[in-house]
Every structure is written in C-alpha cells, then in structure tokens.
C-alpha cells in the first residue's frame, strides 16, 4: 500500500537553491539511457542485435513497439545545434536518403514487424518537415505496410517541427497523415538572440502554426526553449516566457545551452563574449521555474514542464513515466526500433546505434545489412543500475525493498560505496535515505543527474574517463 500511495501522490514542486546549484553543478550524462551512449562499442554488431530480437520473440514479449525515424536534413544552420544534421538545400539528397531508409525499414519490419503493435512513433532530426508532404505520406505508408499501429486515440505519434518550414496547411496535412503530437522548436522569441544564433523566426510565424495545430486536433503541443544563448538576459527571457505562457502549450522544455565549440563546429560561430555568465544563467533558470510554476505547469524532471492533465504529468503521478532517447515518455515497456543515420535502438537488454555518416549508412544497406555501427549488451549489473536511474529520473524516489525483491541483492551491501556518497548528498539536502526509501528532495530535483551519477559505475572506471567527461554538459 505504501508503494502505491507514494506512486499515485502528487509530485511536490521543485525548489530552486542557487547556492546548492553553484556547489553541485558539474559535467555529467543526461541519462537518456544507461549505460550512456559513450559506452557503446564497435564490438557489438548486427548479429548481437538479431540475437536480441530473437530473444524478445522467444520470450513471447507483450511489450508494444516504439519506432523512431531520424531525418537528418536542415535548410539552415542554427549555430547552437549539437544534433546529428546535414545542412543542404539540395532536395535530391532527401530522395536518396529515403530510398535507403525504406530499405532499412524493410529489414526491421521483416525482423520485428509482427512482434507487436506500435503504440509510439517519433520523427526527429534535423528537421523532419524537410520532407515534402508527398515524401512524408509515402514514408508513413511504407511503415504501415510493415508494422501494426495502434488507433489514433491509443497511440502517441509525434513529430518535431521547425515552424519556419511549415504553413498552417502543412500542419493540417500532418494531422491527417496520422501525427497527433507535435513539438515546435522556438528557443527564444527575442529578435537579437535569434540573430546571434542564426535562427530568425518571427513570433507570428510560430504562433500561427501553433494555432493551426490546435485547430487540427493535435492532442499535445510542445515548445522547446533554450537558456544561456548569446545576448539572452533575464529581461529577454521573461518576455519570451510571457509569450510562451500566453500561447498555452501542453508541454514546455527549457534546455541549458552547453557551449562546446571544440566538439560542435557550428558553435564556433557564436561570439563567446555575448554569452550570459553563469550567474545570469542561474537567474534565468530560477525565473523559468517561477514563471512556469505560477502558470500551473508541473515540473516533470530535467528540462521538462507539463500541464497537470498532460499524459506526462499523469504518468508521473501514477509511477508509469519512462525516459528514453527522445526524453520522457509514457511508454515504459516498449521495445524501441530506430531507423535512419545515427539512430539508436533499445531492444531487450541491448542498445545499438546506426552508422553516423550517410556514406557508411548507405554502404551497409547496400551490403544487405542493418547499418549498426556499435552498441552494448547490458549485464545484470547494468540492468539493476538502469532501473534505479530510471526510477530516480522519472519518480524522484526509489523503493529499496522493492528493488531487493526484484533482484537478489541486499542494497546496503551491494551499494556500500554508493551509500557513502548518498549520505554526503543527504547532508547537502538533495535527498533523504532510510532502509526502505531513497527520496529526492524538491531542491534535489534540479540536480537529479548528480544523484544518478552516484550509481553510474562507468564514471571514473577508466583512465580516459576524465577526458570523456568533457563530452558531457553541466548538470545545471
């Protein structure tokens, strides 16, 4: 009863503690998976993926399927972007890509198409609407030939949109084609900030396509913002937030801009002297939390806020929230099949990532192979730590007793070293810990990555780990 009551209780609000954030902020993973993608190796090959699919089949899995499609193309370069994208106005490249993408879908469909029903589909990029209406319709029809999709009211079919690439008419077409959730990249409404990051996006353009999505009957409308961009300050952020709140999206994601020009060439176009300093970024984060909380949004975790009646907020209250490579999700048990260059699948107890360049991706498909470049098989220890990190990231609490029932361990013995670190975090006020529960405090929620890092056995496990951490963004 205690577990059920806790899982169904309302999530307390997040608490902003600037001093604690200054003390604790460090580089670390975002935990869209565990182990994280930087732990994948090229020792994992197509045969390992086939074995994972066959294992799921043999076990008679009742899990639904989640499909991710990666469309890497963009018309223009946004300087802040760290995604796997290809900037081109040559539309023939998309035609070639779609030819190979459909061949990969053919292979995946033969393997797993009849395994179970697809309840989640997500198109990401790049800019998925780089594809024309006709190309999108043809691609969706191709997917439906291989996979069974749940009905519109039961499935979650989402697409990421750059508002500059669509019209209200295109939005209505996307709804007709089967998408029922939509995410708009906004980043900031301020004209000077937009100019500094090479993303000129008039406010009226964004609001028009949002209104079209609402009128077309999309079940969920999401907006993405970024704080820490050049020329941003508390005043400009406050103005953007006011406009976003007035637009009334169902979900809002506010990402911390991680300036890593050594890794992402496009970020070298950003003038570093125009970036807000650390204190200003903290002030902007504090403002975002205050404004969105006052507007009635619930803090889901990491960068995400949602209305109390949104599926994410409901799933969190009911203990059904999940985290994957697309962020937070309500489909906790889905096997994820991902297609396209650089896309990452999660099937059974494995992760696998496709080739990251078009040439390598095309070559593998020409050879009649799934274009898997690397991946990892999860050990029992990986699975144990993954469920702990999932519970903490999604529910901000962990039932120690339930974990001991599910796994043949005594928590205090197995995680003796981790408990020492957790006690230190408890002293700092990030969490409370007893024999039955690990519970994250409201002010520890913003630093949930720090808490999860305690359970990451790969951090610091190798001599080169310090260098690898340079690839991570700061936890705040």
Please provide the size of the chain in residues. Answer: 476
Contacts of 99 (CB under 8 A, 6+ apart): none
Determine if the peptide bond prior to 126 is cis (ω within 30°). Answer: yes
364 is in an annotated binding site: no
87 is in an annotated binding site: no
Contact 72, 86 (CB under 8 A): yes
351 is in an annotated binding site: no
* Nearest alpha-carbon partner for 290 in 323, 249, 254: 254
Structure tokens, 13: 């609000």
What does 128-158 look like in DSSP terms, one character per residue? GGGS-HHHHHHHHHHHHHHS-B--TTT-EEE
Query: CA dist 125 to 261, 265, 347, 427, Å?
Result: 20, 18, 21, 42
74 is in an annotated binding site: yes
Burial class (CB in 10 A: 0-12, 13-18, 19+), 112: buried
80 is in an annotated binding site: yes
224 is in an annotated binding site: yes
**What CA–CA distance (Å, rounded) separates 403 from 437?**
10
Inter-axis angle of helices 46-58 and 92-112, to 10 degrees? 40
Sign of the dihedral defined by the CA atoms of residues 415, 347, 318, 36, in that order: positive
187 is in an annotated binding site: yes
394 is in an annotated binding site: no
Contacts of 338 (CB under 8 A, 6+ apart): 67, 68, 69, 70, 325, 344, 345, 354
203 is in an annotated binding site: no
* Nearest alpha-carbon partner for 456 in 6, 36, 17, 27: 36
49 is in an annotated binding site: no
185 is in an annotated binding site: no
**What CA–CA distance (Å, rounded) separates 94 from 165?**
15
199 is in an annotated binding site: yes
Most distant CA pair in the chain, distance: 61
68 is in an annotated binding site: yes
Residue ranges of the binding site for S-adenosyl-L-methionine:
68, 80-82, 125-127, 160, 187, 199, 224, 258, 344
Residue ranges of the binding site:
68, 74, 78, 80-82, 125-127, 160, 187, 199, 224, 258, 344
Residue ranges of the binding site for [4Fe-4S] cluster:
74, 78, 81
């Amino acid at each position: 009863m205690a577990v059920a009551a806790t899982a169904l209780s309302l999530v307390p609000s997040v608490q902003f503690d600037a001093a604690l954030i200054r003390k604790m902020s460090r580089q670390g993973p975002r935990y869209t998976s565990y182990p994280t993608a930087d732990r994948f190796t090229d020792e994992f090959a197509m045969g390992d993926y086939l074995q994972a699919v066959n294992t799921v089949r043999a076990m008679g899995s009742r899990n639904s399927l989640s499909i991710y499609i990666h469309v890497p193309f963009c018309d223009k370069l946004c300087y802040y972007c760290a995604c796997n994208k290809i900037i081109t106005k040559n539309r023939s490249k998309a035609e070639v890509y779609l030819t190979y993408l459909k061949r990969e879908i053919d292979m995946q469909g033969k393997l797993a198409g009849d395994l179970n029903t697809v309840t989640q589909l997500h198109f990401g990029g790049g800019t998925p609407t780089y594809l024309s209406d006709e190309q999108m319709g043809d691609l969706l029809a191709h997917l439906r030939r291989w996979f069974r999709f749940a009905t519109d009211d039961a499935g979650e079919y989402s697409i990421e949109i750059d508002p500059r690439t669509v019209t209200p008419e295109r939005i209505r077409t996307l709804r007709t084609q089967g998408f029922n959730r939509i995410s708009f990249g906004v980043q900031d409404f301020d004209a000077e900030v937009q100019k500094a990051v090479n993303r000129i996006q008039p406010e009226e353009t964004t609001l028009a396509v949002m209104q079209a999505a609402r009128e077309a009957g999309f079940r969920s409308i999401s907006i993405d913002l970024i704080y820490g961009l050049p020329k941003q300050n508390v005043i400009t952020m406050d103005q953007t937030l006011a406009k976003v709140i007035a637009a009334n999206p169902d979900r809002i994601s506010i990402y911390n801009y991680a300036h890593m020009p050594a890794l992402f060439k496009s970020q070298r176009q950003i003038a570093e002297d125009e970036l807000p300093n650390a204190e200003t970024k903290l002030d902007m984060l504090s403002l975002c939390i205050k404004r969105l909380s006052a507007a009635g949004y619930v803090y889901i975790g990491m960068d995400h806020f949602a209305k109390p009646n949104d599926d994410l907020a409901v799933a969190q209250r009911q203990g059904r929230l999940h985290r994957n490579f697309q962020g937070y999700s309500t489909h906790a048990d889905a096997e994820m099949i991902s297609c396209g260059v650089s896309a990452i699948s999660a099937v059974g107890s494995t992760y696998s990532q496709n080739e990251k360049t078009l040439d390598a991706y095309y070559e593998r498909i020409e050879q009649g192979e799934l274009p898997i470049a690397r991946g990892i098989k999860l050990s029992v220890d990986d699975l144990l730590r993954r469920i702990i990190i999932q519970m903490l990231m999604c529910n901000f609490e962990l039932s120690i007793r339930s974990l001991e029932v599910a796994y043949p361990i005594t928590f205090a013995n197995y995680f003796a070293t981790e408990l020492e670190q957790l006690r230190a975090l408890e002293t700092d006020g990030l969490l409370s810990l007893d024999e039955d529960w690990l519970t994250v405090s409201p002010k520890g929620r913003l630093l949930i990555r720090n808490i999860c890092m305690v359970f990451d056995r790969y951090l610091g496990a190798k001599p080169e780990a310090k260098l690898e951490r340079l690839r991570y963004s700061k936890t705040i």
